[in-house]
A and B are shown apart, each in its own frame.
Chain A
């Protein structure tokens, strides 16, 4: 371990006694051979750890409890959780899934919803295409039907009403 890493660890796990025995040994070996790190450890211990040792423990005054007691007695029952909260709590107790399970379920749900939306959109598109084809077919039929009406040599249509008037 280099000095920088040693000093970083020193400010946390080493000073707090959270290092495993093996790591602590290699740490102490480094300190015994490195003056700078040893000095750093000494300054840190004396200035940022020592002041907290034997710090005063404050005792709360009796008045605090008296005030709390008075407030409780004015509203004797602790707030009961609502129906929804109780239901949710019992649901949680029944299905004690770890958080990753919730995350996975969430992802699956989002995936299923996205697929359904996509599918609906595809169906709608196909329907529109189908309707458009039918419309084109109808227009073509109309156009052909119009062309089929024969126009005679005189520019007449050969209908009965024409014979009546002419």
Chain B
């Protein structure tokens, strides 16, 4: 015990001595800023501590690992009548899933910290005047990035490295098999995670090296959106790729091996003793090559972009003028004039839309939801049976009808969630000075923004597609039901809304926050499955559409009645999150 204490004291002393060196101090600073945000104007920290962030990252792996006990527990297998099984073959789909999960979570975490990885203007202003060499700054930041990569890689996979081997081969009674399985699983998920982090980092470094600073800021958001979509597609691939791997021939297997999660599955299988299989060898080779390439590109581009971007920060403007695209006749201007009659509505609406489109933090949130919607809508599109598309019915299938419902739900909820992210709270004096708290202007403003995010593009596109394939009746009914459903969704989401978006601090975590999350998920299910099914049923006989009228009328009346019975003080405009709000 005494030896342990003295060892701890020794470690602490060494750390404190290291922390007091310029390198240690800078590294500590950079690791901290990677968790607490960069230099983006107005970006407030999410208020999550490092512990909370790491717990969130570890959660998916932990939950899925616990499910493995149910799937592979000896009692469950006995009750199911499953006898002895070969874990190295039977678990290929699960192993693929774990690899995809660790890649997705780590990639998402790296995307989330994209802006904070590289040093920015604030760092330049604060650090360059100090008597610290550039080499120290460079190596401290690079070390901080490595620490972040190691931390993410370990935290995301810690639960599955421990629990998955126990759940799957814990009851097999062979230590050799257990360790072989555990080693294969650990190497594969850790390597996949690290690859994912460094791949995102390499892309960021490459863009930063190639593009001018102002262009990088604009392009990076689109690239992040594309990477997020790619990660979600990877996640969606768990339903198809494992079965393809088990069924397809060797030649197709070689092609599949290029897919990063498949290649890292090859690493696990090599450790499991299947390295002689030519497809597995190809997979492992591809994984090794991809891993090395990601790290190499990340290191080189980081070093080059450090020289190119960081050192030239004083020579570059923070941001150039925004591109001007003033049209003599703008249909949007007409729409705005029609829906924004009051000056306060007009001013607030433009403020919200501009902040949404220009703030990285807000756009990221909307992009994540848009990417989710895009992937879910693609899945729905892919599940339409082409052989039945035209021949059997003269009205659209539920999968076809669900596409705009999925997209609108994700976009509306995404924008609604983005409303909760503060912009620059100290600038609120502008609205406090000009908006009367008793005017109840928050909901009309937010409603217009939410509807403007979907109706002008989604409704015409859905109308055109339905009209093209199924004719006028289906198109008209589809658009009517979609529009009214969107209106209802917006009203529900804004039932307790009483602030100008972005002007309040983050809502506190309430005891019912979990319930709200479940409500959003349940809402997604109802909105994207139940409503399209009902709609399809009504399209089979358009007279049935009449049934929608009382249903929607009851729903709207319920929302308005609830709103009406609220106390006047609960409807007043607020600029600080003081009272709990459900939505």
Q: Say if A and B assemble together.
A: no
Which positions in B face A, CB cutoff 8 Å? Answer: none
